Structure 1
Amino acid sequence: MKVLCLHGKGTSGTIFRSQISTFRAKLPDDVQFDFINGPFKSDPAAGIDLFYGPPYYSFWENDSVDAIRATHSWLNEHIAKNGPYDIALMFSQGCVLGSSMLLFHQEETPHLPPPFKAAIFICGGASLSVLEEMGFHVSAAARERDIASRSALALQAGSSAVLERGADRWTGLKSLSGGLSEDQLRNEIASPYRIDVPTVHIYGSKDPRYAAGVHLSGICELEKRRTYDHGGGHEIPRTAAVSNSIAELFQWAVAQVDTSN
């Protein structure tokens, strides 16, 4: 079982390895993880330099559809040389990369095997610009929340918030949530089709980007997806309960891949 690991913006493959170490220790030894760095040097993600030193990387320098597509070409070259991969395990910006690759593959090259057979998304959403280019209808409320959540994440994840409030810094984005259920959030994006490989969606209800994670689950096939709210912020909690749950979901994804072979 070979796993491609895609980190968040302003971190690195080495940092991602550390971030998932607790639940990864609960997995079988025969799972191979490939932690890669994005192609662009980057400033550190908000607050990350308190815990990890440089270098830091990003998968693109701006969020345009053209920039994301260019990174697809870069990653496809990596997969051709180092793959194939059974599963992609992604965090934050890595989720944007992986989800857009699966969507464009489904639209443009469905006769070819997908870049990976299953996907695990942690604290990440899809690119709304990519979705709109592909004919998805994104509601004005989803757009407004997406913009506000990015600013809120920078504040809640920042160094001063970490030092002043610790874990209490995660307060989500209550001002725009409106008390919507997960199903209501999923209905904010109308999908002409859905990602059809097995998917796992792990997000935290106190993460300002929580709705983005729920939205991403909504553009994946219901019968092939599993979701889990770890209850925290934009992070991978290392408690035993969360680690056990993520490990179980990972094993579910492995079983889906094994069944399809």
Structure 2
Amino acid sequence: MKFLCLPGAYGSAKNFQVQLGPLAEELERRGLCTFTYSQGTHEVDPPQGWEDYFGARPLYRFLDTRQGDTFETLRRLRHVPHSMPAEDTMRMFQKAGEGEDWHQRVWREALDAVFKTLDEDPEIDGIIGYSEGAMVGASLIVEEAERAKKSGCQRRIKFAMFISGAPPLKFEGKDRIVAQLFDEAGIVIDIPTFHIFGCDDAFLSSAVALFNVCEPSKATMYDHGLGHIVPRDAENVGVLGEILQEIMPKVEEGNRRAASEQQQRKESGLSGMDKSEFATPALLRTTS
């Protein structure tokens, strides 16, 4: 399996390769996957007071925020109690974009740029997204499924790892983009997913909201016990390697079975959607 790796806001392909390095090396050592790194197309300056936090410049975002920060309100999530339901928390902070049509254009451009990266490398069949990159990746998975229904083309992304993620976005009306939330949209991501986050994450609600819209029988979560980070310590990396050693061969087998069934349907002249019967039991593992 080959993963397209999408960094968070104020990141870069180079910096994300360093952040993900210990886990990527562990997975490569186990022979599970390979990686390719991308980044947003919009060069940005880090927020005031955080000039040294995000690593070496240049830094990028997937979103063009020159006309304002579409998701500035997400930063206020850190002040919301974790006891509030994730969906209610997200609704409190998704008014950004109301009445301003440029937000939809910004989001369309961001998604199209990632689809272009996907089209340029036919070996990619998985996504690893961190923070903003996870939100973009989740949205791409949803849109890819919608395109497949309309065109009959084969879906590329078979597995996704989301690190401190956020729910996928959708267009609403003529001038809004809103989060897809479970109590409104139900399950919107049907492929196997692995969710990595920390109980001390200031943006925990957004990661939980993403988990909730993924097919539960195919979704696995891991709490590394830390904050809004990509875990790099030896203990967490080792445990993650063990979990993925269990999950990924099942994903690959499910993909092979689905491809075989699809081929059999074609040969027999039957039509139908390509649906894998693979199901990963959800599990929650934490470190102390």
TM-score of the aligned structures, taking structure 1 as reference length: 0.72
Corresponding residue for 1:23? 23
1:234 equivalent to 2:248? Answer no
Of residues 69-78 and 121-130 in structure 1, the stretch that sits farther from structure 2 once superposed is: 121-130
Q: Distance in 2 between matches of 1:85 and 1:32?
A: 9
Which letter does structure 2 place at the counterpart of 1:69? Answer: R
Q: How many residues align?
A: 212
Deviation at 1:251, TM superposition (A): 3.3
Q: Are positions 1:125 and 2:166 aligned together?
A: yes
**Cα 1:16–1:258, aligned 2, differ >3 Å: closer, same or farther?**
same
> Aligned equivalents of 1:69 and 1:52: distance in 2?
28
Correspondence for 2:153 among 109, 112, 117: 112
> How many angstroms does 1:27 deviate by?
1.6
Q: Deviations over 1:28-63 (max 9, x none)?
A: 345321011211101236747246210101111143
d(CA) in 2 for partners of 1:27, 1:89? 13
Stretch of structure 1 that moved more, 106-115 or 226-235: 106-115
Q: Percent identity?
A: 27
Give every structure 1 segment of 4 or more consecutive aligned residues whose post-TM-superposition deviation is greater than 6 Å. Answer: 131-137
Q: Using the TM superposition, give the Cα deviation of residue 108 of structure 1 relative to its aligned residue in structure 2, in angstroms.
A: 4.0
Matches of residues 161-176 of structure 1 in structure 2 within 5 Å?
A: none
Please state if 1:72 is matched with 2:66.
no
Q: TM-score, structure 2 length as denominator?
A: 0.66
Q: Which moved more, 1:105-114 or 1:93-102?
A: 105-114
2:112 maps to a residue whose letter is S
Larger Rg: 2
Does the CA contact (< 8 Å) of 1:86 and 1:257 recur in 2? no
Q: Which residue pairs with 1:83 in the alignment?
A: 122
Which structure 2 segments of 5+ residues have no match? 71-102, 257-288
Among 195, 198, 201, the residue aligned to 1:204: 198
From 125, 142, 156, the equivalent of 1:103 is: 142
Measured against aligned partners, the alpha-carbon deviations of 1:13-40 in whole angstroms (never above 9, x if no partner) come to 1111111112222123453210112111
Residue from 41, 44, 51 that aligns with 1:42: 44
2:237 maps to which residue?
243
Give, as a single letter, the amino acid of the residue that structure 2 aligns with 1:225.
A
Which residue of 1 is the match for residue 35 of structure 2? Answer: 33
Question: Which is worse superposed, 3-12 or 30-39?
Answer: 30-39
Contact 1:118 1:197 in 2 (8 A): yes
Structure 1 Cα separation of the partners of residues 195 and 177 of structure 2: 22
